[in-house]
């Protein structure tokens, strides 16, 4: 049995999993600034490196929180927010520099709209003290999004090393968009069911 030091075992705002989440949030303006930079290959590679490190923390913060029993309220709140901010900011910058363009913009719009929808539903369900667990499909969706955005950040620089980098990224983005619609409908259906139940319960209380 592994005995962890108190500094590691104690959950709190400055636990290791939470520090990883903070780091992911701090990486967002760095990636955005680099994508705003003029199109230089070395800039894209640096942006990709920071993005990959940030994406990896998405796995490790949750894993370590569970393994070290360091789940915290601030971690549960910030972890999904950090993920959404990272993906949304990158999609907006990639659309601005036309790495994502034309019909593929719809994939980015679908993903962004779904994130707003799910955030609203989660807030509503939280008021009812209803928890919506993350499904395996939602995890696949997140993985597809992260990998797709990674390819698209490499963009023109990646084309030099691996021709078709942008196309691979766009295909993965559409896969993520399809999974996004599926998981979004699951959340919406669950939300509507609880909304109807809440209205019926309130109606029953009226004199």
Q: Indicate which CATH number applies to the domain containing 42.
A: 1.20.120.1760
pLDDT band at 131 (very low <50, low <70, confident <90, very high): low
| For the chain, the helix, strand and coil percentages under 3-state DSSP, each to the nearest 5 | 80, 0, 20
How many CA atoms are closer than 13 Å to the CA of 85, on its beta-carbon side? 20
In a domain, 7, yes or no: no
In a domain, 2, yes or no: no
Q: If you search the block for the tokens 């709190």, which residue do you land on?
A: 12
Residue 149 domain boundaries: 13-205
> Cα separation of 73 and 23, whole Å?
17
Poorest-pLDDT segment among 31-40, 70-79, 169-178: 70-79
**Cα R_g (the chain), whole angstroms:** 19
What domain count does the chain have?
A: 1
Rounded mean pLDDT, 175-181: 92
Q: Given a cut of 60, is residue 9 above it in pLDDT?
A: no
Rounded mean pLDDT, 180-189: 81
Q: Given a cut of 50, is residue 3 above it in pLDDT?
A: no
Model-level pTM?
0.82
pLDDT value of position 14: 75
In a domain, 80, yes or no: yes
In a domain, 130, yes or no: yes
In a domain, 167, yes or no: yes
pLDDT value of position 40: 81
In a domain, 3, yes or no: no
Return the higher-pLDDT residue of 33 and 184.
33
- Alpha-carbon distances, residue 198 vs 11, 124, 154, 191 (angstroms): 35, 11, 47, 10
In a domain, 151, yes or no: yes
In a domain, 8, yes or no: no
- pLDDT of 99-120, one tens digit each? 999 999 999 999 999 888 877 7
- pLDDT of 26-72, one tens digit each? 999 999 999 988 778 889 999 999 999 999 988 877 777 777 777 77
């Amino acid at each position: 049995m592994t005995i962890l030091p108190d500094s590691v075992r104690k959950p709190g705002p400055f636990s290791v999993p939470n520090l990883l989440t903070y780091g992911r949030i701090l990486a967002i303006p760095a990636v955005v600034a680099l994508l705003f930079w003029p199109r230089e290959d070395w800039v894209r590679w640096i942006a990709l490196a920071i993005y990959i490190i940030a994406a990896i923390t998405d796995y490790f913060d949750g894993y370590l929180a569970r393994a070290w029993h360091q789940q915290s309220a601030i971690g549960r709140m910030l972890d999904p927010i950090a993920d959404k901010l990272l993906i949304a900011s990158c999609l907006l910058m990639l659309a601005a520099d036309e790495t994502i363009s034309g019909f593929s913009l719809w994939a980015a719009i679908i993903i962004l709209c779904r994130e707003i929808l799910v955030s609203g539903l989660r807030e509503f369900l939280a008021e009812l003290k209803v928890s919506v667990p993350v499904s395996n499909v939602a995890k696949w969706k997140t993985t597809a999004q992260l990998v797709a955005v990674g390819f698209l950040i490499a963009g023109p620089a990646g084309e030099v090393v691996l021709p078709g980098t942008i196309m691979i990224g766009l295909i993965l983005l559409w896969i993520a968009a399809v999974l996004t619609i599926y998981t979004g409908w699951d959340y919406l259906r669950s939300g509507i069911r609880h909304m109807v139940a809440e209205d019926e319960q309130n109606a029953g209380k009226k004199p």
